[in-house]
Amino acid sequence: MSVSTRALDNVDEQLRTEVAAQAFIWATQNGLLYGAGGDYPSSMLVHAPMSLLPTPLPRDAYEKGVALTEICNKLTDAISKDEPYLRETLAEVCQSDPFTAKLMEIFESSREEAAKYDAALGILSGVVHKTEAELHRSGHIIIHPKGVGNRVCSLSDTCWDEVLTL
């Protein structure tokens, strides 16, 4: 569903406050949270930044994103085909992350079969970037942007469906 920013012109402050409260509740119930960091206790969580309406993106920022996409795709492809690097980088992550461990298990078990074909099993799903593995070693939480992005889209649809039925 697409809601223009003009939709807020007809929404009173009380309803805006209610929608914001519902969005925060939804974020909490659906894992759209991360550690507050700083001087806050390690158990304190805050919701990820979000917008319930489409946010304008300047043309030059969009074009930079498009240009970076090709570079990132090439890097992702190269990393996904570098078996020694994957094993070394993911060894510690696999010990504590069952999802990544299962991906590596599939990767290892399919190597012989995959060698018969001109194809590669791409296990790169946002968790194998070297920087993320380094974050893991330092005790930081790894956030998967794709998952967060999907959650935010679902949040927007959920909240606006409720508003439009009022």
pLDDT given at position 2 = 40
Count of C-beta atoms within a 10 Å radius of residue 104: 19
30/64 Cα distance (integer angstroms): 31
- For residue 20, which amino acid is it? A
Sequence ranges of the domains in the chain: 5-164
Tokens of 41: 């206790």
What is the per-residue pLDDT for 60?
Answer: 94
Instruction: State the greatest distance between any 2 C-alpha atoms of the chain, in Å, as a whole number.
Output: 63
Which residues are paired to 47 by β-bridges? Answer: 33
Render pLDDT for 82-126 as a digit per residue (tens, 0 to 9): 889 988 988 998 999 888 888 888 888 877 776 676 555 454 444
Q: How buried is residue 129: exposed, middle or buried, by Cβ count under 10 Å (0-12/13-18/19+)? A: middle
Query: Which DSSP symbol is given to 86?
Result: H
Task: Return the higher-pLDDT residue of 153 and 101.
Answer: 101
pLDDT band at 4 (very low <50, low <70, confident <90, very high): very low
Give the predicted TM-score (pTM) of the model.
Answer: 0.42
What is the per-residue pLDDT across 43-91, written as a single tens digit (0 to 9) for each? Answer: 888 888 887 777 788 999 989 988 888 898 888 888 878 889 988 988 9
pLDDT, position 110: 78
Mean per-residue pLDDT over the chain, rounded: 73
Query: For 30-144, where are the alpha helices, taking DSSP H only?
Result: 59-80, 83-96, 98-114, 130-137
Q: How far is CA 138 from CA 24, 110, 129, 130, 134, in A?
A: 29, 31, 15, 13, 6
